[in-house]
Structure 1
Amino acid sequence: MRTEPDAILGGRLILRQPPRGAHRAGSDAVLLARLLIPAPGATLYDLGAATGAVGLVSARLSEVGRVVLVERDPDLAALARENASANGLDDRVAVIEADLLVSGTQRRAAGLQPDSADIVLTNPPFFEEGAHRPSPIPQKAAAHTFAAGGLDLWLRTCSDLLRPGGRLGMIHRADALPACLDALRGRFGDCAVRPVHGRAERPAIRVLIAAVKGSRAPLRLLPPLVLQDEAGRFTPEAEALHRGDPWPPP
């Protein structure tokens, strides 16, 4: 089914997505896309890109040299290509259909070369098989679930694709922070963790994690982001990020 494209960043980017009920990009994608600002000419990978929201936001708002959207689902990869073209970003954006959990040999055959990215942004599946009730919609279930040990393999691939000193940006469930830190250990350091709260009085629902490949610098816990005020409106900080403004200094 064809759907009308969504306008994000105040209309600066249009995004065709699957029908409602399937996995669709929203605030998670915008927050992740603004987490790390690439240097002019840098190469950025969006891993598990779906329709390309994270990488395309970065391409629209920065002087990144090349964006690679990596997605295993052929239908989503086709939408990502369509979105890159519709936004006039074909010259800087490539789409690779690949499974991030296969062997290094298979990844290279698909076009994913080690030490080739300056920045990797990723929104990995949030659950392991058996740890939650999957969606009855196959595409949504696949986007949210992978096999046991999948997070460690996913972050191993992120590390493989990054150059030494390259930067990783990731968003995940808040309660998955211990598992994320375990999977990052030995591969990344200088981890900066920012909790994201739906409202100020509620527990965090997400964590944004930035880390540097090969660094030994200690972990930093940054001030939280609160998305909504008591009336359910975006807070000024959240509103600015959804317009495409950068994060304020910590």
Structure 2
Amino acid sequence: MNGSSECSRDAFLGGRLHIFQPRKGYRAGVDPVLLAAATPATPGQSVLELGCGAGVASFCLAARVAGLALTGVELQGVYADLARRNAMENGTEMSVFEADLRHLPGAVKEQTFDHVIANPPYYERHRSTPAEDAGRDVALAGATPLSDWIDAATRRLKPKGYLTMIQKADRLPDMLAACDHRLGSIRVRPVQPRPGRAAELVILQARKGGRAAFGLEAPLVMHEGASHKYDCDDYTSQVVKILRGGDALPWGT
């Protein structure tokens, strides 16, 4: 998979990052970039990405925030290898472990982190049709329940640490149900494709030991206008700043 014929080298953040991804199979798009933008990390903090894939979210976050200690856990060996390759390609240090998040290696279980980030599979295995490519199928509809993702994240968070997760909007009830007494200060930001359209994604933030009231943020609108009329990406100015410039997506706005 690491051969040039099987991978593409794709630009992110306006060319600040270059990421090797499989030409066939799961390929990262804007979602991990939004996840990174919504993570409120500060220089010197530690970040664990569960299901890191090729590492796009972690590397986008590191491009915005200097001095982060990055760790990734990825079930599929092909993608774990790509994450290591992409770390070298972009001059970013990241410890990547090939492991099931339900059975984390000792080197990860011995640590706690300021932030845990995740972009879990969007579809429930029993409600979806398997993809032809095995890697894409695991990435889009893995067998691990969302409750296990959130439990693993919560266990690895430091007190007052943040969980940030992006997911399909119709999975929000599952996410909220999995946030037990250990997590609080929950905030949710809907992501709408266009003005007036229903949200297709949500970004959830929760804090270990948080006590603030639940907050529903103003939606992030991805595209200008009610429909696509021109041969261009027509992203809103805020989204352009995130996708091209690596800007943060602040909470409380």
Structure 2 length-normalised TM:
0.90
CA distance in 1, matches of 2:21, 2:94: 18
| 1:127 aligned residue | 123
Correspondence for 1:95: 96
Query: 1:167 offset after TM fit, Å?
Result: 0.4
Q: Which residue of 1 aligns with 2:88?
A: 85
**Partner of 2:14 in structure 1?**
10
Which amino acid counterpart does residue 159 of structure 2 have in structure 1?
A: P
Letter in 2 for 1:46: E
Identity %: 35
Contact 2:8 2:23 in 1 (8 A): no
Q: Which runs of 5 or more structure 1 residues have no equivalent in the other structure?
A: none
Map of 2:242 onto structure 1: 241
Which amino acid in structure 1 is aligned with residue 51 of structure 2?
A: G
Q: 1:175: Cα distance to partner?
A: 0.8
Alignment match, 1:195: 190
Shift in Å at residue 96 of structure 1?
Answer: 1.2
1:44-94, CA deviations, whole angstroms, 9 ceiling, x for partnerless residues?
Answer: 0111000000011111210243101111111101100000001111xx311
Deviations 1:95-137 (A, max 9, x none): 11111023xxxx243x212551100110011222211222121
Distance in 1 (CA, whole Å) between partners of 2:46 and 2:69 is 5
Task: Determine helix, strand or coil for the equivalent of 1:210.
Answer: strand
1:134 and 1:141 in contact (8 A); partners too = yes
Amino acid at match of 2:248: P
Cα deviation for residue 139 of structure 1 reads 0.8
Instruction: For residue 127 of structure 1, give the secondary structure of its aligned residue in structure 2.
Output: coil
Distance 1:187 1:238 in 2: 32
Confirm whether residue 143 of structure 1 aligns to residue 136 of structure 2.
no
Q: Indicate if the aligned counterparts of 2:63 and 2:246 stay in contact, CA closer than 8 A.
A: no
Letter in 2 for 1:116: T
Cα RMSD over matched residues?
1.5
156-165 vs 113-122, which moves further = 113-122
Equivalent in the alignment of 1:113: 109
Structure-1 separation of matches of 2:62 and 2:202: 23
1:192 CA drift (Å): 0.9
Greater displacement, 159-168 / 112-121: 112-121
The residue aligned with 2:167 is 172
Aligned residues: 241
Quickly say closer, same or farther: Cα 1:6–1:133, change in 2 above 3 A: same
